Amino acid sequence: MCWMLRKKFQAKSVIDNCGGWNALLAHGKFSIQKLYCKLLPTCDSVPWKRLIYQSRASPRSLFINWLHGRLYTCDKLLSWGMHVDPISVLCGAAPESINHLYFECDYAREVWDACLHVLHISRPIEPFGTEIKQACKMIQGKQAKHELYGMLFAEAVYAIWIQRNARKFQHNFTCSQVVFRQIVYHVACRFNGPCNLLLL
C-alpha cells in the first residue's frame, strides 16, 4: 500500500472511533471543532482552576500554584528512593510535605496570617486543601477585596516555595515579615483599584 492510501485508512479509523461522519456534522457540514472536541481526552475538572484563570497575580506565582500537587517536597523525593533530610528547612519541626509546607509550618502560617490580616480577616489557618477551597470561593466574589484575596494567596504560595528553596539550596533565610512585605508589593504592582489602600 502506498503512503497516501495508508494515511486515508488511518483517518477512516479515527472517524470511526469518533462515532462516524454523522457525529461530526454541524448544519449538514463537516465540523473541525466537533472532531477536535471528540479527540480531546476527558479530564476531571480541578477545584482550584479559578485561582489560575481568574487571577491577576504574577505568571510565575500562578505557575507554581498550578504545579502545587507536583512540587518536589521531601516526602515525594523520599518515596522515589532519594536520600534527603525529611525535616522541613523552614521550621525544622516536622517532616516536609505539601500539606506541612502549606500551612502547618509555622513560617508559612505567619506569612499567610499576615496576608489575611491585611484584608481584615481574622480566623484560624486551615489545612492546605481547605485554604484552596476558601480561596476559590472568595475569588468568585465581585468586590475588589475578593480579587485581592486570590492574588495574595497565589503570591504567598509562590513566595513560601521560593523561600523554602533559598533556605534548602542557598542557605539564605528571609524572615516572614520581609516575605510578607514582598508579597504585598508584588500584589500592589499588579492591582489597580480602591482596595490598594488595604495594602498600605
Reported as a pLDDT band with limits 50, 70 and 90, residue 40 is confident
Q: Do 17 and 92 sit in the same domain of this protein? A: no
pLDDT at site 52: 86
Reported as a pLDDT band with limits 50, 70 and 90, residue 42 is confident
Place of cell 487571577: 55
- Average model confidence (pLDDT) across the chain: 88
Q: Peptide bond preceding 169: is omega within 30 degrees of 0, i.e. cis?
A: no
Q: Do 30 and 84 sit in the same domain of this protein? A: no
**Res. 78: pLDDT tops 70:** yes
> Is 192 a domain residue?
yes
* Residue 32 structural domain: 3-39
The grid cell for 100 is: 506541612
User: For the chain, what is the domain count?
Assistant: 2
Q: Do 148 and 86 sit in the same domain of this protein? A: yes
Higher pLDDT, 20 or 193: 20
pLDDT at site 193: 65
Q: Do 113 and 154 sit in the same domain of this protein? A: yes
> Is 70 a domain residue?
yes
pLDDT at site 183: 95
> Is 131 a domain residue?
yes
Q: Do 172 and 75 sit in the same domain of this protein? A: yes
> Is 44 a domain residue?
no
> Is 19 a domain residue?
yes
**What mean pLDDT comes out for the span 150-166?**
95
Dist CA 73 CA 168 (whole Å): 11
pLDDT at site 200: 62
